[in-house]
Chains A and B, each alone.
Chain A
Amino acid sequence: MRKKSNSATALEAALRQAVPSLRSADPARVSKACARIAATPPVSPLHLPQTFIKPLLRVAACCALLLGIAVLLRPRQPAETVPNLPSVTLNDFTALMPKQAFENSLASEAANLATDLADLTAALNERSLSILF
């Protein structure tokens, strides 16, 4: 165990000792970099994420959060009352509809039903007879 830790320490020491030393700065290279910086047009503050977009996103997130909370905490309005329908009895039909028109419509419905019944009977007879013969 001790041997391992000794070798690890020796390795660390060897790594630290073998680090190449720093040379002095190259003025030509520095000048080139500075010239490039001077030649580059300044970035518009609108395009700097740290100055514009992040605060804007934070404000938008806060607004969305507040809106959500407001929607959740909004007091619920009572449901609108359904208007009551007037209760109508059979006796009130006479008041709602003229008697003559009522009789005529019922008579025509009865005539229609009788015709339909006659047609249905004729069709049934015809089919049953066709099965038999």
Chain B
Amino acid sequence: MDMNAISRSVAKLARLELSEEEVTTFSDQLKQVLTYIDQLQSVPESSLGAPLYHPLELPTLLREDQAKTPQLDSEGRPSMLSAASQTDGLIGTAYKVPPIL
């Protein structure tokens, strides 16, 4: 298992830029985590119960299907726009982001 390659792949998926030194550091740490997981894998399945998907043993709450009227700010624009970058964050009422295509 090429730990350095795995570290680079995870970093790429997380949009992180790693130096070669960092790749080595994290590869060592990652290896320890994976070794620990291997240890868990060696526990016989028959000794385990059903997988735990959530620590609370409660079912989810449900909401009735009622829609709220959209919130507007004092200028009559969608109120969520205040969360956009104040300098170059909007085009009309859409969020402006670097070109995708």
Report whether chain A binds chain B. Answer: no
Q: Which residues of A contact B (CB under 8 A)?
A: none
Q: Which residues of B contact A (CB under 8 A)?
A: none
